[in-house]
Amino acid sequence: MDEVTLSVVGIIVALGLVLYLIMKGVNIFVVAFLCATIVALTGEINLYDALKTHYMKGFVGFMQANYLIFLTGTLLGKMMEVTNGAKAIAQLLVRLFGKDKAIISVPLACGILGYGGVSAFVISFCVFPIALQIFREADLPRRFIPAALTFGCSTFAMVAPGAPQIHNAIPANILGTDLMAGAVVGFISCAAVLVIGCLWLFQIVNSAKKKGEHFVAKSMDVFSTEKENLPNGFVALIPLLVTILIINVKINGQSIVHLESGLLLGSILAFVLMNKYQDNSKLLTNLADSCKNSMGAIANTCAVVGFGTVVQAAKAFPVIVNAVLDIPGPPLVGVAVAMNVIAGICGSASGGLGIATPLIAPVYLAKGISAAVLHRTLTIASSALDSLPHNGYIVTVTNGICNETHKDAYSAIFKLTVVTPAIGTVIAVILFTMFPV
C-alpha cells in the first residue's frame, strides 16, 4: 500500500470512528484527539506536530475569529429565553396557524428566532416545551419533534441572506462580502427548502399516524397547566427585526454595524422591552451563563475544526480535494460537493466553512466565480451533510433535549436536514449557473 492510499484509508477509518463514537455518546474532545491521531499516523504527519501545531492552529484560529459572534448570539438567546420572548413568538405562530396546522409553527418559530440571530441550541431549549404541548394536543408521534426542531434551526433560516449567524459571517469575513451576498438566489433556494421541508414533515407525520402511531409521553415530560405570563408576541419580535435590519444597513456600500455589535444591541433591546417578564436580580447570573454556554458551544466546534485541520495536513488531503474540484460540469458543482464533503468530515456547518472557504475560494475566484456567488453557494451547501448523526447539535437535540434515540428519530432528521438542504443547494447551483451575479 503506497503512502497516499494509506493516508486515504486513515482518513476514512477516522471518519467512520468519529461517527461511531459520537453515536455512542463519547465526548467530542476525546473523539477529536483520537481520530486526529489516526489521521496523523497514517498521513505522514509527526504526531506531536499534528496535535501541537495543526490541531491547535485550527482550534485557536476558529476561536479567535468567531468567539464574539457565539457570545453575543448566545446572549441574545438568553435574553429571549429569560424574558419568555421566544415562547411568546412560538405561541403567536400557534395561534395564527390553528391546531390543525400547528406542527408547522414549530419549524417556523425556530426559523424566525434563528434568522434573528439566536443560536440553534438556545432556540431548541426554548421551543421544545411548546412543541411537546402541540404534539400531545394534536396526538402526533413524539419521535418527530427532533426533526421539526432541527429542520427549523439548521436549514433555511441559518443560511439565508442577511441572517446574523456564524454560517453567514465566516465566508463574509474571508471573502470580503456582506451578509446579503447572493440575496435573490439565496432567498429562492431557502424558500424552496422551507416549503419542501414543511410539506415533507406533514407527509412523514401523517404517514406514521395512518400506521397507528400516536403521541406517547415519556416519564420526564412536563406539560404546562397554567397560563404563563408572556410578553406580546409582536413585541418579542422587535429585537430580532432590529438586529437583522441594523447589521444589513450600508452606507457607501459598507456595513455600519458589525454582526457582534448588532447581536449585542438586540440583546439589550430584548432586556429593555420585556424587562418586566424577567428577574433583574439574576442579570449577572444570566450574563455568566451566556459566557459559559457560548464557550462550551464554540469549544465543541473548535474541537471538530482542529480535527479537520489535521485531516487538511494529511498526505491524501490534496488528492481528495483535487478529485472533488475536478468534477466535470459547472464550476459551482465542485464548490457544492467540496463544501458538503468537508462539512460532513467536520460534522459541523460552521466548522466546515471555516476550513473549506479559505481552501476553495482562491481556486474558484481564479475561475471567474464572483465572491457573492461563492459565499452563498458555500453557505447553503454547508447545511446538508453537516447534519450527519455525529453533528453535536443533532446529538444534543435528539438525545439530550428530546430524550429520543437516533434509531427512532434520525430517519426524519436526515430527510429534513440533509436531503432537503441538498435540494436547496442544487437549486442554488442551477440558478447561479444560469444567472451569475
Bridge partners (DSSP) of residue 255 are 250
∠ at Cα 133 (132, 137), nearest 5°? 120
Could you report the per-residue pLDDT of 388-407, keeping only the tens digit for each?
877 777 877 887 778 888 88
Quick one: pLDDT at residue 341?
83
Spatial CA neighbour of 55 closest among 296, 319, 355: 355
Quick one: pLDDT at residue 1?
66
Q: How confident is the model at residue 40 (pLDDT cuts 50, 70, 90)?
A: very high
**SS3 of 251, please?**
strand
Q: Domain limits at 131?
A: 3-434
Choose the weakest-confidence range: 148-152, 177-181, 385-389.
385-389
Task: Let me know: does 122 contact 100? Beta carbons within 8 Å.
Answer: no
**Mean of pLDDT values over 361-390:** 90
Q: How confident is the model at residue 227 (pLDDT cuts 50, 70, 90)?
A: low
Quick one: pLDDT at residue 147?
94
Start-to-end Cα distance in the chain? 46
Cell readout for 279 is 428577574
**Mean of pLDDT values over 219-238:** 77
Could you report the per-residue pLDDT of 45-60, keeping only the tens digit for each?
999 999 999 999 989 9
Cell readout for 388 is 450527519
Does residue 226 surpass a pLDDT of 60? no
**Mean of pLDDT values over 331-342:** 88
Quick one: pLDDT at residue 33?
92
Cell readout for 247 is 447589521
Phi-psi region of 175 (alpha: psi -120 to 50; beta: other; left: phi over 0): alpha
Q: Using the structure block, give the residue that is written with the C-alpha cell 499516523.
A: 41
Does residue 279 surpass a pLDDT of 90? no
Q: How confident is the model at residue 254 (pLDDT cuts 50, 70, 90)?
A: low
Could you report the per-residue pLDDT of 343-368, keeping only the tens digit for each?
887 777 887 888 788 888 888 898 88
Q: How confident is the model at residue 255 (pLDDT cuts 50, 70, 90)?
A: low
**Mean of pLDDT values over 406-434:** 93
Mean of all residue pLDDT scores within the chain: 86
How many Å apart are CA 76 and CA 116, to the nearest integer? 9
How many Å apart are CA 261 and CA 72, to the nearest integer? 8
Number of domains in the chain: 1
Between 75 and 98, residue with greater pLDDT? 75
Q: How confident is the model at residue 87 (pLDDT cuts 50, 70, 90)?
A: confident
Could you report the per-residue pLDDT of 299-310, keeping only the tens digit for each?
877 887 788 889
Quick one: pLDDT at residue 273?
93
Between 235 and 323, residue with greater pLDDT? 235
Does residue 243 surpass a pLDDT of 80? yes
Bridge partners (DSSP) of residue 251 are 254
How many Å apart are CA 434 and CA 437, to the nearest integer? 10
Could you report the per-residue pLDDT of 128-174, keeping only the tens digit for each?
878 887 888 788 899 999 999 999 988 998 899 998 888 898 999 89
